[in-house]
Structure 1
Amino acid sequence: MTDQETEGSGSLLLDDQLCFALYAAQRAVTSAYRPLLEELGLTYPQYLVLLVLWERGETTVKELAAALRLDYGTVSPLLKRLEGAGLVRRERAARDERSVLVACTGRGEELRERAARVPGALSAATGLGAAEAARLRAEVWALAERAEAAAHRLR
């Protein structure tokens, strides 16, 4: 059977599933991050929250959840743990009491310097060069957009 025939045949073989390849890759990448982030006292999801805050500065929980493509119920416990660790602060917005603002504390900002080595360390560990990483990232983002559009059509 050719690749085209396999793609069009609706194969139910596990290794033929794009979703499984992406799932396995995501788990492997997260696992590779684990020792690097343990040195910082962070989990991978907490690292992602801090990346958004380091990039954007103070932001609302709603904007943070949107940036991470997570729901509020998932982001809220992450923020609670980060706040307990003294890395972020949350407070009600003065202009809109319904809105909660999140920002890094001084300790959270200090962690940024130590975290700056994580991307390079992961690249070195995986042997993924900058050009290859950029190409792969662009392809995965394009797939994410197409899958999101498909999900909306299928609802």
Structure 2
Amino acid sequence: MTTSLPASSGRKKPFIIHKQAREMARNVLQMCVEEKKENKFAFPVNNALDRAARYTGLTKRTLSRIQTEAKNGPLHSPSKKGKSCNKMGNLNVDDFDRSVIHRCIEEFYLTKNIVPTCPKLLAAIREKINFPWGDYKFTKTSKENGL
């Protein structure tokens, strides 16, 4: 009984080999070609770590670290750090807090005759209400309120 396979182009999906892996593959291939020309191994077969270091261009110490990692479990490469998430969540400021912020800004302009800066305003607002956010959220809130 024969089963028909779906028609395909017979091509495999191409994958990306990064620069470091390409260089390592080139080193291994170059060493194999040299060994073929000389018709002997560059290092005895018993010295696996020396041969691997010579082929890959890595140090023996690096290769031994990789070897111990492989014994402990699957190999992982260092991952990129992700973006830090907002721990405080969305900015929910009620009408009372908005009015306190508005009065505080007016107080700076009218009674103190000072142009308010973010750090000064935040210090004054935190004395009056519980405002847990920083400069960015404060600026965003004041812009939303038209201040």
Report the TM-score, using the length of structure 2 for normalisation. 0.24
More strand by share: 1
Larger Rg: 2
- Higher RCO (C-alpha under 8 Å, 6+ residues apart): 1
Report the TM-score, using the length of structure 1 for normalisation. 0.23
More helix by share: 1
